[in-house]
Chains A and B, each alone.
Chain A
Amino acid sequence: MSIITVYWALVLVFSLAIIAGIRLFYREADE
């Protein structure tokens, strides 16, 4: 598996983590 493949896998992982982070920690009700 080349680093380029790992790169795209990481893009996916980070995207999910960011979406989860925003949903968890930045709910409108919190503000």
Chain B
Amino acid sequence: MSFFNGSALILILYMAAIFVFSIWGRSFKTIEDFVLARGKLGPYALGLSFASSYASASLFLGVNGWSYSWGESVLFYTVFIFGFTILGLLFFAKRFRKIGVEQNSVSLADWVGNRYNSNMLRTGVAALTLFHVTYIAGQFIGVAYLLQSFFSVPYTWGVILSALVVMIYVSVGGTYSNVRTDLVQGVVMAIIALVVFIGGYLSFPHGFTSVHQGLLNQGGHFTQLVNPDSSIFNSVWAFVSIAWLLFIFVANPHLVSLVLSLKDPKEFRKFFGTAAVFLFIYQLMPFTGLFARANGLVVAKADMVLPEFLKLLFPGSFVMLVILAVISAAFTTVNALLVAVSAVISNDLYRKGSSLILGQRETGKRKDITLLVGRISIWVVGAAAVSIALTQPKSLTSLVWIGINGVLSGVAGPLIAGILMPKAHRAAAIFSFFAGVGSYLVIFAFFISNVMEAGALSSAIGTVLMFAVNWVLSHSGAKAADESGIFTDTIRLYK
């Protein structure tokens, strides 16, 4: 099939439409406008953005690859995505927003830096966010697979093309574009996910009973909870790990920053409700991998099972729509990640760094440069992600999790304690940060090859040490971070 045919035209038109929509009506002058767009976006839009930023090519392609390869055990992962993530969101959101607004924080690194009045933590968390480059790479890989399979675009060019499109519209529009495009793409993704789920379900004469029987007929371990064939779901401990990681998943900078964009705390309920409903719909998608396995379908690449199975069920034009939805899923996630990473580099590294060197008074020119740095950084990070994506991984979702766990391992302790404890100590937070990240690198590199177990263990180590060291410091009479006038200092810095 040639790339230059009718379907390619639809793809190009779709991308063009997203681009026009994303920059329509935008206006911002400062980096806060660029990354937060606070007050310009309602709770429904932000809730939908949360869910669609969460649902990526990893969920739509990679987790389907998992469920196809490893069977029903993967359903625990998907239901935890809905349950534990939203419960985690409920746990973090209220106080994170309250403290964030008081501190005038625009990103997670900024929040942690201000909370503990520590530039070392700010820089550390900011640098950690760069781990997300594998998360971004995973999305480019997903899109490139689709372009390769359906439009015969060579894999390398697919990676470059998808990167170019998303980077252009994010660098032009920031969060405003991100959330606006999330609205359209998020709804498209939800409709497609429902149709695919229902269509797949109806293709079995007795519903889930037939699916389960089909999986049993395939032999292997497709219906077992603990699957010895899986590199992830191979122990009970793995499920505990996944529950914990998904509970703290909201600590990912691109998700938690949406909470800061909420205009009014009264909007929380609408925000949560929208996020929960859409996240539930999106996590139905990985059923397709089960349906395909139960059906006896054989595919060369597990990550491509979704489109391959749909080709059996639906007409070509609908499969085309699904591809657009998956591309949307990838783009909405990359958008959010790139904006978060750009906020980190421009605000947390460049702006705070230049304040330390050049003094705290910000001139108009320096604000312009900060915005420019934000935009340029999107291209630098995008290019790094492209270089990772050029090598095809064994599992897209496993690659994505390597980076996510790097972020969570360092951030979990300082964030949880910063929210729960009025008297949280800077030294404890710094200790927790380095212990979390350090243990992740060592554990994953040398001891535990299951990325979920390694991530959960190290983020738990970071969190436990945070509370332990904090307890010791509190009992030795040390001064806590919020007793050092941090709120007033921070507000002065921005005025």
Contacts and interface: CB of A to CB of B under 8 A. Distances in A.
Contacts of A28: 266, 269
Interface in B74-131: 75-76, 78-79, 82-84, 86-87, 90, 94
Task: Give the 8 A-B residue pairs with the shortest CB-CB distance, closest first.
Answer: A14-B83, A3-B72, A31-B265, A7-B75, A21-B90, A2-B212, A10-B79, A4-B208
Contacts of B223: 2-3
A31 B489 CA distance: 25
A8 to B, nearest CB: 8
30 contacts: A2-B212, A3-B72, A3-B76, A3-B223, A4-B208, A6-B75, A7-B72, A7-B75, A7-B76, A10-B76, A11-B79, A11-B83, A11-B280, A13-B83, A14-B79, A14-B82, A15-B276, A17-B83, A18-B90, A21-B90, A22-B90, A22-B269, A22-B272, A22-B273, A25-B90, A26-B94, A26-B272, A31-B265, A31-B266, A31-B268
Interface residues of B, number: 27
By CB atoms of chain B within 10 A, which of A2, A3, A31 has the most? A3
Nearest to B71: A3
A29 B269 CA distance: 12
Contact of B87 (A2, A7, A21): A21
B212 A4 contact: yes
Interface in B257-294: 264-266, 268-269, 272-273, 276, 280
A13 B243 CA distance: 15
Contacts of B208: 2, 4-5
Contacts of B280: 11
A2 B208 CA distance: 9
A11 B280 CA distance: 9
Nearest to B213: A2
A4 B73 CA distance: 9
Interface string B214-237: 000000000101000000000000
Interface of B: 72-73, 75-76, 78-79, 82-84, 86-87, 90, 94, 208, 211-212, 223, 225, 264-266, 268-269, 272-273, 276, 280
A31 B84 CA distance: 24
B83 A10 contact: yes
Contacts of B264: 31
A24 to B, nearest CB: 9
Interface of A: 2-7, 10-11, 13-15, 17-18, 21-22, 25-26, 28, 31
Contact of B90 (A3, A11, A26, A31): A26
Nearest to B225: A3
Contacts of A10: 76, 79, 83
Contacts of B84: 14
Nearest to A4: B208
A22 to B, nearest CB: 6
B265 A3 contact: no
A4 B75 contact: yes
Contacts of A31: 264-266, 268
A4 B294 CA distance: 13
A6 to B, nearest CB: 8
Nearest to A10: B79
Nearest to B268: A26
Contacts of A11: 79, 82-83, 280
B134 to A, nearest CB: 28
Given A18-B87, A26-B268, A26-B269, A7 B79 contact: yes
A4 B207 CA distance: 11
A26 B92 CA distance: 12
Contacts of B86: 14, 18
A26 to B, nearest CB: 5
Given A22-B272, A26-B268, A26-B269, A3 B73 contact: yes
A3 B212 CA distance: 9
A25 B419 CA distance: 15
B268 to A, nearest CB: 5
